[in-house]
Structure 1
Amino acid sequence: MDRGAVLVTVGGWRPGRVLEALPATPSARILRLEVPGWPGSTAGQHVDIRLTAEDGYQAVRSYSLGSYGPGDTIELAVDEIPEGEVSPYLVEDVLPGDELEVKGPLGGYFVWRPGGEGPVQLIAGGSGIVPLMAMVRAATDAGAAASVRLLYSVRTASDAIYRDELERLADDGGVGLTWRYTRAAPDGWTDPVGRLDEDALRAATWEPSQEPIVYVCGPTGFVEHVADALVGWGHEPARIRTERFGGA
């Protein structure tokens, strides 16, 4: 029996040791975990995280992976939901060296692999950037970033997870990056501020005639609004993949 099989607990849970807990925004953290025996993941997949209290009570929540590929290290970016059961602990209390139970990788629909035909359009709202970040990284590593566009809607610049990395990749001639600020923009910003509307969506994304595969991730209302607008514009529904985030 291999080492990975020994470390899998009942039901497919694996112990994950926190290597780093880094601030991402005022309300979010990036967690890097070492998960011995991890089988690797495809960009866009997620994991379940299980916490067990001293009295035996357990809480399980799903979190997208910002990482992809082989190796024993995975990355999550967790945005705190104040009334949540799990995210406040992950954002406020977890320290390097702590252990979390991890199950995964999970999901086979909301994923991206190199080699697909046509351009790729990524549209994120808030912490919905996390699985799309894995796709950006995968496309960059595969030399396919020029065919990828990312439209990222956030309240303010300080709320943007992975902001520095995204700016660097865009400046290096990789993924096409467009920001949409819904509450306040940085100094010197000249584009409109507010909810992502159809005009802004069309200006920043591939046209239907180019037949992109589209990935939309964020809060339910955001995802439904964007998906409806894309279909109304003429995008094929079968080429639009969505993932919704809820409280955790």
Structure 2
Amino acid sequence: MSGPAPADAPPAKAHRRAGWHTATVTDSRPETPTARRIAFEVPTWPGNDAGSHLDVRLTAPDGYQATRSYSIASSGEGTRVLLAVDELPDGEVSPFLVHDLREGDQVEMHGPLGAYFVWTPPPAGEPSRPVQLIAGGSGVVPLFAMARAHAEAHDATEFRLLYSARTPQDVFFRAELEQLTAAAPALWLDFVYTRQVPEGWPTGPGRITREVLDAATLPAASDPLVFVCGPTPFVETVAGWLVDSGHRPGSVRTERFGGS
């Protein structure tokens, strides 16, 4: 996950100290052809900021344990925790969560974790910086939590999300994102499809390029706070382009994911 927080990172909240919790599945349904949306009830959960993550620990009958980190798709107070897990066929944990976990099953969770890659609405009356979100694949999960927290707070901060997905079917939270952009004038959503585009799409499929990034994101001159999440090569490439375009390195916060 992310490295140590810089001096201007928001501090962790004392009442949200990380701990181990027992989580019960209350709902599980397909999110994309390879991913599943899973809601949990966690009675001891202290709430979490948008962008936080947690660890899921599974224990086999023979005592073998496997633990993996997952971004949290929900935020705020309350005891409901939402994950969206993309299956990696060679993973130890994600195949079980996607295919075998059922309503009523329980897992162990450790969290909430992270104070660097989080966003909270600015206090009333205080100036706020615009926010640029850039997601690759399932890296949209913590950024979706930020976008929803922004909308629910009726915050006027300018928000943009640039989302790279393989196909329209691989988009996480499509309905919710469309609802958020319709209801929140300050939120703007842009898609890039790498393998297949919707009918009538103005461009063909392809990866994000430097030119696309510059055209579809807030300029460095507006000094946005930027959150980039996705596979390591995607994050490193995009972060490098952003810095080359004049964004302050300390304003570009990154989170990468690998096997799970």
- TM-score where L is the length of structure 2: 0.89
Question: What corresponds to 1:5 in structure 2?
Answer: none
What's the CA shift for 1:219? Answer: 0.1
1:231 partnered with 2:232: no
Aligned to 2:101: 94
The answer as to whether partners of 1:120 and 1:213 remain within 8 angstroms in 2 is yes
> Which residue does 2:71 correspond to in 1?
64
Q: Select which of 176, 199, 208 maps to 1:165.
A: 176
RMSD: 1.2
> Paired residue for 1:42?
49
SS at match of 2:92: coil
CA–CA distance in 2 between the matches of 1:49 and 1:145? Answer: 35
**Counterpart for residue 73 of structure 1:** 80
> Which of the two has greater helix per residue?
1
* Paired residue type of 1:135: M
Looking at structure 1, the residues matched to 213 and 19 of structure 2 have their Cα atoms a distance apart, in angstroms, of 41
Aligned partner of 2:4 in structure 1 is none
Once the two structures are overlaid, the 10-residue window that deviates more, 192-201 or 123-132, is: 192-201
Among the aligned pairs, what percent are the same residue?
A: 54
> Residues 35-85 of structure 1: CA distance to partner in whole angstroms, max 9, x if unpaired?
111101000000100000000000000000000011111000000000000
Q: What residue is the counterpart of 2:258 in the other structure? A: 246
Q: CA deviation at 1:145?
A: 5.8
SS in 1 for 2:250: helix
2:21 match: 14
Q: 1:81-125 deviations in whole A, cap 9, x for unaligned?
A: 000000000001101000010110001100001116210000000
Return structure 1 stretches of 4+ with deviation > 4 angstroms: none
1:221 lines up with 2:228 in the alignment? no
Q: Is the contact between residue 44 and residue 131 of structure 1 (CA under 8 Å) also seen in structure 2?
A: yes
Choose which of 159, 174, 189 in structure 2 pairs with 1:177.
189
Q: When the two structures are aligned, how many residues end up with a matched partner?
A: 238
Query: Partner residue of 1:197?
Result: 209
- Specify the alignment match of 1:155 in structure 2: 166
Note the C-alpha offset of 1:191. Answer: 2.4
Distance 1:173 1:117, change over 3 A: closer
Spell out the pairing of 1:125-144 with structure 2 (5 A cutoff).
125-144=136-155
Sort the Cα spacing of 1:193 and 1:146 in 2 relative to 1 into closer, same or farther, 3 A: farther
Q: Distance in 1 between matches of 2:153 and 2:203?
A: 32
- Are 1:136 and 1:145, in contact at CA under 8 Å, matched by a contact in 2? no
Amino acid at match of 1:33: F
Contact 1:146 1:173 in 2 (8 A): no
CA contact (8 A) 1:114 1:139 kept: yes
Contact 2:161 2:188 in 1 (8 A): yes
Specify whether residues 191 and 146 from structure 1 end up closer, same or farther in structure 2 by C-alpha distance, changes over 3 A only.
farther
Deviations for 1:138-188, whole angstroms, at most 9, x for unmatched residues? 100111266100000000000011011111222334420000001110111
How much has 1:13 moved relative to structure 2? Answer: 1.8
